[in-house]
Amino acid sequence: MSSNRSCGITAHSLMLALLAVAAACEMPGTGVASESEPTRTLTQALSGYEFQAEDTQALQDDPFANPGMLWVDQGQELWRDAGSADEPSCSSCHGESGDSMRGVAARYPAYDAETQSLLNIEGRINHCREKHQQQSPYAYESAELLALSAFVAHQSRGMPIDVFIDGPARTFFDSGQSYFYERRGQMNLACHHCHERNVGRMLRGDRLSQGQPTGYPAYRLEWQTLGSLHRRLRFCNVGVRAEPFSAGAPEYVNLELFLTWRARGLKVDAPAVRR
């Protein structure tokens, strides 16, 4: 009990320290005119992998022991058998092996002209389910959607991230970018304050990374399960005592586009393992 207490106090004073840092350095880059080329405030992008303990990295690197691979396996089964008896499976249109999905996750989220919306991989899968399989969409964070998105993302493992932010994607990008630099919650902190200003420092038990999206869906030891990027974003919102959006909300998809653009130069490393 007493050790818990002192832990709480430490975390609290760290938060205060962060608030002080946050107040001292206002961020550049907000209010960028929409047409100009956006500037990345990070000089060098580093995957969240670099900030994990060695044993966690080893678990991610082992293609057998990485627990995220359980979802990839399950995704492969669903890939071949997702529809009802009279509807086609994913594989009947996209091929048995899933090879056709190579590189896809590296360029999502992407603007979809048909629905005039921004779709991430989860959104795209659900779109196929509704349009091509006449099935109701999977709930965000359901075992099925996690498995299929892990399967699709895994096909792009090792491929460089490159999303398209011009044309109609730009307004979505701009709103994601502003969200990243906006202060929020009772702690009045922006994503930027933790994931750019304080990278490498400890916050409670975590070493702050750059908040890169490259490893999602990821297996988090604390969750004891695989989770989507949006589940992680909800935690980051709650962490500063801000109201989170629901997973799959358009605000998070916009933010995901910004995060993925900001991650260019990095490679897809899903399913990652995190503390």
Q: Which residues of this protein are in contact with ligand HEC, per CB under 6 A?
A: 48, 51, 82, 88, 90, 92-94, 101, 104, 121, 124-125, 127-129, 131-133, 148, 152, 180, 189, 191, 193-195, 203, 206, 208-209, 211-213, 215, 218, 232-233, 236-237, 239-240, 255, 259, 274
* Sign of the Cα pseudo-torsion (198, 203, 206, 212, in order): negative
Q: Give me the residues that bind another protein (CB under 8 A), please.
A: 64-65, 67, 69-70, 73-74, 221, 224-225
Query: Which one of another protein, ligand HEC, none is in contact with 176 (Cβ closer than 5 to 8 A by kind)?
Result: none
> Closer CB to another protein, residue 234 or residue 262?
234
Cα–Cα separations (whole angstroms), residue 35 to 16, 20, 39, 108, 231 = 37, 34, 12, 21, 31
70 binds, among ligand HEC, another protein, none (CB under 5 to 8 A by kind): another protein
Both tokens assigned to 84: 């009802």
User: Cβ 210 to ligand HEC, closest distance in Å?
Assistant: 8
CA 17 vs CA 14, 75, 189, 203, 240: distances in Å:
5, 43, 12, 11, 14
Active site residues per annotation: 236
Q: Which does 58 bind (CB under 5 to 8 A by kind): ligand HEC, another protein, none?
A: none
CA 152, 245, 42, 18 torsion-angle sign: negative
Q: How far is the CB of 67 from another protein (least distance, A)?
A: 5
- Judged by beta carbon, residue 67 or residue 239, the one nearer ligand HEC is 239
**Is residue 164 packed enough to be buried (19+ CB in 10 Å), middle (13-18) or exposed (0-12)?**
middle
Sort strands 206-207 and 110-112 into parallel, antiparallel or unpaired: unpaired
Query: By CB neighbour count within 10 A (0-12 exposed, 13-18 middle, 19+ buried), where does 76 fall?
Result: buried
Work out what residue 221 binds among ligand HEC, another protein, none; the CB cut-off runs from 5 to 8 Å by kind: another protein
| Residue (69 or 125) nearer to ligand HEC, CB | 125
